[in-house]
Structure formats: structure tokens, C-alpha cells
Structure 1
Amino acid sequence: MSVVKRFVAGAVCPRCGEMDTIRVYRNERREYRECVRCDYVDGQNLDGTPEDVAELETRVNKKVELEPAQPLNFVANPGSQRRDH
């Protein structure tokens, strides 16, 4: 039995964010989706039973370490004093 993989129009890859790169296919027990751009693969059981799998790290849930913010002090330019005519 050959596996038929179908593209899903308008689907966006959860990892790379590209549109129209997801295709789906299934076997007797599971349905899969994969991205042809970034090699993302995901699957779910056809009977609806959950899997105990850790959440995939994506561009949305990735933790980014930011440097602490530095305050800015604005000082007036001494050559730009206001002159009233």
C-alpha cells in the first residue's frame, strides 16, 4: 500500500511560519503532518487518544533572554535655546 501525501492549502507551519508547505498523510493508526521546508513532523492518533509528548519549541514559545533596559537621559542642546521675536 503506497502512502498518499496531500498538501493543505493555506496551512501555516507552526515551526517556520511558511504558508502552503504542510502536507498530511495517514496510516492505519495515525495521521501525520509535515513541512517540506523545515522538516517539521507531527502526528496524532486517529482514535483520539492523547500522547504524552513534550511541547515542540517554536518561534512563538521560544524563550529569549533580554538584556536589562537602560534609562535614557535627554539633555537639551545648548545651541538651540528658544528665542522669542
Structure 2
Amino acid sequence: MKTKRFIAGAVCPSCGMMDSVRMFRSETERDYRECVECGFTDVMEVDPKLEGELPEARIVREENILEDHTDVIRFVDASSSDKH
């Protein structure tokens, strides 16, 4: 019996559902993926090439935006100003 494992975060290329794709290895040592929602199946490529835009992920990371300017801070030793 072949073990089928879900691919976390994977999006079905046919129906677009996330977390519905699982993969398994056949007796011929080929890797397959299938969608449990729409029934889509295909052979997974050994060396896949990225085409088009990436699908939107569940977790959206916000970029840290740095300010365009820098303020200069000058430290003054209060004890040295009393001597003058």
C-alpha cells in the first residue's frame, strides 16, 4: 500500500484550493500529486521550473519599512558644562 502525504501550504493548480494536495510514490518510483477536492492528478516533475506568479500564501510577511531620513542625536555631559 502506498503512503499518501499532504503537502502543507500547497495549492491545487486546477481548483486553487490550499492544503488539499497530497503526494505519493508509485511502484515505478514516480512521484504523483492529487487533489482531494477536485480529483486533479499529475506526475510531479523531478526538476520543476517556476513559471508565473507565486500563489498567495496563508502567512503574509510584512516588510520593515525604514524611514528615508536619519536624525542626529548629540549627547551632552551635564557635569562638564557646570565647570565652564
Q: TM (normalized to structure 2)?
A: 0.49
Q: Is the radius of gyration larger for structure 1 or structure 2?
A: 2
TM-score, L = length of structure 1: 0.49
